[in-house]
Copies of this chain bind each other. A is one copy, B any other.
Amino acid sequence: MEIGPRRHALQLFADRLETRSPLSDVERDAVLALPGHPHRREAHRDIIRADQDVQHACLIAEGLAGRFAQLADGSRQFTGLHIPGDQVGLDALMLPGPAVPLHALTGSTVIAIPRAALERLAADHAGLAAAFWRDCMADSAIVARWLVNAGRKNARSRIAHLLCEMAMRYDRIGRMQYGTFTFHATQEQIADMVGLTSVHVNRSIRTLREDGLIRWSRSDVAILDWTALAAIGEFDTGYLHFGSDRGRADRTVRAQAS
């Protein structure tokens, strides 16, 4: 049976919450009943601009979006990536203020969910308030890790870490198969994630490829040697706060090895 993008995205969101916060049936149903209209954004378009006054969160239904900051010289730094099931803007429930701009790295569908509806959910269900809070903290833990990468690691390591992280996150939503996941990001965009230039990103990826750690054709990233890649990136799954990450990672590795 066909279900709409809103329903589908809300299920992904509920799943995401439940990986870290157990929800009662009532709470889960309340999440699934959230209102919201789907919007389509083409690649390389902003979903939320800095000057905008947004009164809604953006639930990613499809595609890849990134929060970012823009500097005076035009350079850009992504401060977070969001894949299907991610709710962007829960933080604004607690910190209304200037919106954090959001960019569609590839063609994306987002569901605009009124902030008021989320606030009501948090007010009515203590379990959901906790789940939202926890979700925010999980995102926050990722930002902290990105800071460590940008501040103290070299190019190869930063990219290795990014790939490990995204592999785990795509795996969690069932989008990793046989050690491969689809990552629709240009090298220019990747540069803005890890704090490098696209040229240097290109060279660094090449070395990873030449060392037999990854394969990367078109938008498909295959992780050929998870252990080595994780070692180079000093990737430790703990900060993602998935349940039994180790199990998943192992499965991933075995899948591609077989």
User: Which residues from chain A sit less than 8 Å from chain B, CB to CB?
Assistant: 20, 67, 69, 71-72, 75-77, 79-80, 91, 94-95, 97-98, 100, 123, 126, 129-130, 133-134, 136-141, 143-148, 150-153, 194-195, 234, 238, 241
Contact = CB atoms under 8 A, between A and B. Distances in A.
**Chain B CB within 10 A, most for which of A71, A95, A151:** A151
B150 A151 contact: yes
A214 B130 CA distance: 44
Contacts of A71: 148, 152-153, 234
Given A94-B133, A151-B195, 14 more contacts: A69-B144, A69-B145, A76-B152, A77-B151, A91-B141, A94-B130, A126-B129, A129-B133, A133-B133, A133-B136, A136-B140, A137-B140, A146-B147, A151-B194
A75 B154 CA distance: 12
A80 B150 CA distance: 15
A240 to B, nearest CB: 10
A103 to B, nearest CB: 14
A122 to B, nearest CB: 8
Contact of A140 (B76, B140, B195): B140
B129 A95 contact: no
Q: What 10 A-B pairs have minimum CB-CB distances, sorted nearest first?
A: A151-B195, A140-B140, A94-B134, A150-B150, A150-B151, A77-B151, A79-B144, A133-B133, A69-B148, A147-B147
A246 to B, nearest CB: 13
A150 B137 CA distance: 21
A142 to B, nearest CB: 10
A158 to B, nearest CB: 10
Contacts of A144: 67, 69, 79-80, 100, 143
A198 to B, nearest CB: 14
